[in-house]
Amino acid sequence: MSKSYASVVDALSDNNLLVARDLLLGEIMEKTKTRESWSCSHYTTDRAIQESIPLKHERSKEITYFGLENMRDRYFLHDENGEICENPQTFFARVATGMARGDKELAHRLYEYMSNGWFIAATPVLMNIGTSKGLPISCFLNTVPDTLEGIFDIYRENAFLAKYGGGIGTDWSRLRGQNAPLKSSGLKSSGVIPFLKVMDSETLAISRNSHRRGAAAAYLRVDHPDIEDFLEIRRPTGGDMDRKCLNINNGVVITDEFMRAVEENRPYNLVDPHYGTVTKELSAVEIWRKILTIRAETGEPYLLFIDTVNKAIPPHHKEKGLVVRQSNLCTEIVLPTTDERTAVCCLGNLNMETFDEWKDKVEQMTYDCVKALDNNLDSFCEMADPVEYKKAINSVKHERSIGLGVMGYHGYLMSKMIPFESLQTRLINKQVFSLINKHAKAASVKLGQERGLPLDGGTQRNSYIMSVQPTASTAFLCRQATPCVEPISGNAYLQKTLSGSFLVKNKYLEQVLEKKGQNTLEVWQDIISAKGSVQHLDILTPEEKKVFRTAYEMNMREIVQQAADRQPFICQAQSINVFFPTPISGKYLHDVHFLAWKAGMKSLYYLRSAAPIEAEKINTKVEKRDLANEECAVCQ
């Protein structure tokens, strides 16, 4: 362990975070004695309903220091002088009131869910609902037509989508490939990459509501003539820098035909989408190997198994000839796009870590959460510019898609001392997602009867209901739940903040160590020196070591299989990262990714390689934008 690491750890005490939390909470409460949410000029929600909510300020003690810091810096409303106008409970009350849209009883229940850490909406909802300063939508998907006018229309649309908080997934697969003839001019096409370069610059230039730069992902089919160049756009070295796009993410749309060609070690064809002609024959195995190699190097491209996706779309969409072409910025949204339809999805998450507290209320709570997310779609349609967001509003009216997800999966397992890699976990996985799916579907059917069906038809108010998105940011607001359905990457780490460095511990491991009389700074220092692992600790039993394995110590086949097991209960897709210690075995890399397709997963998000690096390194300011380690904030 480095000297700097040791000096920081030695300076810490177990009470530091609690003291810091109490000081920060006290400061927040003092500053908001004379200010309320409506002190902000952007406030637009129903003040009378918000004031009617009985606030439970004692629950703010359940929020960690990092959760409070996150709330203060990102989510609380501010007045014209830049001073915060909200504390944790008034923040929850404002969000609940905004999501309830005039329904007082619903607002009260939503406040209870959020205040208790049972449910939380995604970041754009938390930041913007009940205000006039942004839009309460996480994800947009659009498709680029093969015309110059259509391409520049997409640039304009993307600028507006990004400006007000949305993450964007854009399908470029309809553009003809490089050197394809342009009959109107007699010239040849420049292909997809130069147009992606413009998108890359646009993404860098547009900030999302003054909080972060724009965020976008470009998707291209694996059988597109430009696929070889597309795979190289995120590699920072080698090749022509004018054909690099380092500020956007990229995803490959994988077909069953390609995967079968890989399996059978045979060539496959690249097909020009405009003319329908075969332009080249490539070795499927070589392209697959290149995809996996670049994923190991950069964390991307994302993978979208498009035929698996389209087999599962709702019957009423199949009847209309609608198809999904791409995913979003985090690979969990799979919605149809057309030249008239820019897909829209509003997200929220149940906290599985607190499942035992709300499982007896699951029917009412799921109904309320589905209703609240459906309400947000109406808020979006009212707030969005009817010209610039015409295609997005059209999509909402036709399908009303939402994404109810889950966080705290691994935390729940650890709280029960159940290993992630176990048959018991596989059973729990299916039971919990089956339960949520059942009640979410019932809620949407009921809402369809109460409010009417979307223009596309079907039997539910919402054509799509569930997805599993990343929740690293919002999990801090829910008693520091573990993110999404993901295993933890370390049992302890140093978190640097403006207030200093803090030792962040796995609270469930801490409880075990406390019972053993081993909850000491020396033990935690030992864990940090092992990069968050406890496998070397003699004070833990073999079974306890299994419970507290980190993501890098697990077999990725298990993560993939559990994702596949829950996929039938999730109408959209999942943000699933895979973790590989270095050096990475090529066969293992192939086996895990191939299993994802074979087992029925719809997508794969980032590939994380090597063990987690020390927090003092990952929290220092860097100039190079490392997208592979930058989780999407809009889905969280």
Instruction: Verify whether residue 506 is a known catalytic residue.
Output: no
The catalytically annotated residue of 40, 85, 245, 330 is 330
Strands 167-171, 249-254: parallel, antiparallel or unpaired by DSSP? unpaired
Burial of 4 (0-12, 13-18, 19+ CB in 10 A): exposed
Select which of 328, 376, 462, 577 is catalytic: 328
The answer for 118, left when phi > 0, alpha when psi is -120 to 50, beta otherwise, is: alpha
Element (H, E) at 63: none
- 350 Cβ partners below 8 Å, 6+ apart? 118, 119, 358, 365, 366, 369, 404, 405, 406, 407, 436
Torsion of CA 88, 94, 95, 96, to 10 degrees: 100
Residues 6 or more apart whose Cβ sits within 8 Å of residue 256: 305, 307, 308
Q: Is 554 helix (H, G, I), strand (E, B) or coil?
A: coil
Single-letter amino acid, residue 11: A
For residue 476, give the DSSP letter. Answer: G
**350 to 241, 482, 496: CA distances (angstroms):** 43, 12, 28
372 strand-pairing partners: none
Characterize the bridge pairing of strands 249-254 and 302-305: parallel
- Active site annotation includes 330: yes
Dihedral-angle region of residue 151 (phi above 0 means left; psi in -120 to 50 means alpha; beta otherwise): alpha
Cα–Cα dist 324/321, whole Å: 10
Tell me if residue 332 is catalytic: yes
The C-alpha atoms of residue 594 and residue 601 are separated, in whole angstroms, by: 10
Q: Is 240 exposed, middle or buried (0-12, 13-18, 19+ CB in 10 A)?
A: exposed
DSSP character string of 276-302: --EEEEEEHHHHHHHHHHHHHHHS--E
Q: Are 489 and 612 within 8 A, CB to CB? A: yes
In angstroms, the Cα distances linking 584 to 293, 301, 581, 626 are 10, 17, 6, 20
> Which pair of structure tokens corresponds to residue 62?
């359940």
* Residue of 112, 332, 399, 614 marked active site: 332
Residues forming the active site: 328, 330, 332
